[in-house]
Chain A
Amino acid sequence: MAEHVHQPLEEEIRSIAGYYMVLEEGVLEYRDRRILYLVQMAAIETSCCGRGGMGFIYVPGYVTALKARRNRDGLWVSDVERVEGEEDRREITRLLRARHPGFNQVNFA
C-alpha cells in the first residue's frame, strides 16, 4: 500500500530545468479494479542538455481509497497499490494511450 498526494491542477511544479503540471486526473476501469492516472504536461526549457516539451501520463496505482484524507498542506491523499506486473503495465499503457492519443510516455510509480 502506498500514498498518493494529489497536486493542484494546472499549477506549475518547477525544477531548475523546467516544470510540469497536472492537467487532469482520471480513473481507468481495468480488470475489475480502478487505476488512478494523471494526465500531465512538461516544459523542459532551461536544462543543461537542451529543451523540449511533452505530454505524459503518470500512474500512481490501483485505487484502494480515493481522496481519503488531507495532509498537512491541505492536499488530498489517496491510498493506492502500485502496479507491479510487467504485463499489467503494458496493457494499462496501451489502454491509456488509446484514451489519450499523443500522450506516449506513461510512467508508473
Chain B
Amino acid sequence: MAEGIRDKVVILGMGCTKFGERWDKSGGDLLVDALTEALEDAGIEKKDLQAAWLGVHIDEINIGKGGTYASNAMHLPFIPVTRLDNFCASGTEAFRGAAYGVASGAYDIALAIGVEKLKDTGYGGLPDSPAFGQEMVMVGPNATAPGMFAQLATAYAAKHKIPMERVKEAMTHVSWKSHQNGAKNPRAHLRKAVSKEQIAGAPMVAYPLGLFDCCGVSDGAAAAVVCTPEVFKKLKPNEPMVKVKALQIAVSSGEEAAYDRWDGASILTTRAASKRAYEEAGIKDPRKEISMMEVHDCFSITELCTMEDLWISPDGGAPDDILNGFFDLDGQIPCQPDGGLKCFGHPIGASGIRMIFEMYNQLLGRWPEDRAVKNPKFGLTHNLGGVPNNNVCSIAIFGVD
C-alpha cells in the first residue's frame, strides 16, 4: 500500500537569486548563484551531490533540452541530471524528482534546481513555444491567458451570486496585500507598495482583470538540496528539520475542457491534488492547521478561487475571508508572505522552488520580524500551469520538527 513520502525527506539547504531584469547574468550564471547559496546553506560541497533534477519550461531560449547545459554551467561531478518541464509546476516537479530520488533510497543527497530567463527574449510575454503540442495550434489563436482566467471570475460570480463589484474588491485586496509584502523583500523583482486606488484605476486587460491582477515575467533561479533525515542529523545535529510532509500533482483529464459537467468556477486539479496532499501530510482541517501559503497568483482571481480549491475557505466564502484580512501577513493564514508572482514575476522553472524557499526560511524563523509569519507549523505551496480548463497543479506541504 503506497504511503507517500511524509517525513522521509528533509531540506538540507536552499538558495534563491534576486528575481528581476537580470541582464547581467546568463541562465547558467543564475543556476550557479542559486546552487552556491544552497550548498553554503546545506554545509556540503558539490561533490556530495549524487543526482540533480532541473526544472525549466521555455527550453528553446534558455537551457536547451536535456541536462548538459545545466551540468556544464554548474560543473556538476558527472552525476545524473534530469531536465523536466511541467508548465508552471516545473520547479516543484524538479523538487519532486529529487525528493522521490531520496525517499526511494536511491540517493542520500540530491539537488532540485529551477531557472528561467525571459527578460531578454525580445518579447514582452512568454515567447511562443510548442508547449501544448498540436493543441496550441488549434486553441492558441483563439484564447489568451487573461481572457480564459477572466472567465473564471465571471463564472465564479455567477455561480455564487456574488456581485462582480464584490469579487473585484476582493481581487484588489489580493493584489494590494501581495505588494505590501513584496515591498519588504530584497529578492523580489518589484518592491513597491501600491494603493488600492491605484489598483482600481488601472486599465482592464480582460474584464474584470486589470493590470494589477496580472503577473509578469522575470529572470531568476532557485535551488534546494534534499537528503534523508539520517543524513541531516549527521550533518546538522541539533538543528531543526524542515521535512517534506506531502508532494502531489494533479493533471487535467480532459473533463474540464471537453465535457459539460465542469462549471468553470473552480480548478478541479487543485481540489484533487490538495485533498491528496492533506491526506499524505495527515492534515484533517487545513483551515485550522495550515500556517501559511505561497500560491500561484498568475491572476488575482486564481488566488481567490484557490483559497476555496485548497479547502481553506468555504465555497463562495473566499471574498469575505480575503476582505477580512484572513490571508494578510498578520492574518490567520498569511498567503504570499514573500510577495508572490505579483512581486517576483514568473520565471517559470524557478517559481515553485522560490515558493518552497519562502516556506523553508519562514519555518526556520530566519526572516526579519516585519515579514515573519508567527510560529508557523505547516507551510503549503501551490503551482498551477496552463489554463483553467486544462492544467497541471502541484501541492507541496512542509513542516518543521
Contacts and interface: CB of A to CB of B under 8 A. Distances in A.
Contacts of A38: 201
Given A16-B345, A20-B211, A42-B211, A50 B124 contact: yes
A7 to B, nearest CB: 7
A94 interface: no
A44 B195 CA distance: 19
Contact of A44 (B194, B200, B205, B298): B205
Contacts of A14: 190, 192
B196 to A, nearest CB: 9
A56 B211 CA distance: 12
B204 A13 contact: no
Nearest to A107: B204
Instruction: Tell me the dominant secondary structure on chain B's binding face.
Output: loop
Given A7-B197, A15-B194, A17-B216, A46 B119 contact: yes
Contacts of A60: 201
A40 B200 CA distance: 13
A4 to B, nearest CB: 7
Interface string B181-220: 0000000011010110110111111000001101111100
Interface residues of B, number: 34
B203 A5 contact: no
A49 interface: yes
Contacts, number: 99
A26 to B, nearest CB: 14
A49 B145 contact: yes
A4 B194 CA distance: 15
Interface in B129-175: 144-146
Contacts of B124: 44-47, 50-51
Given A7-B198, A14-B190, A42-B203, A48 B346 contact: yes
Given A5-B197, A15-B194, A16-B343, A48 B214 contact: yes
B203 A56 contact: yes
A38 B144 CA distance: 28
A109 interface: yes
Nearest to B197: A5
B259 interface: no
Interface of B: 119, 123-126, 144-146, 189-190, 192, 194-195, 197-198, 200-205, 211-212, 214-218, 298, 341-343, 345-346
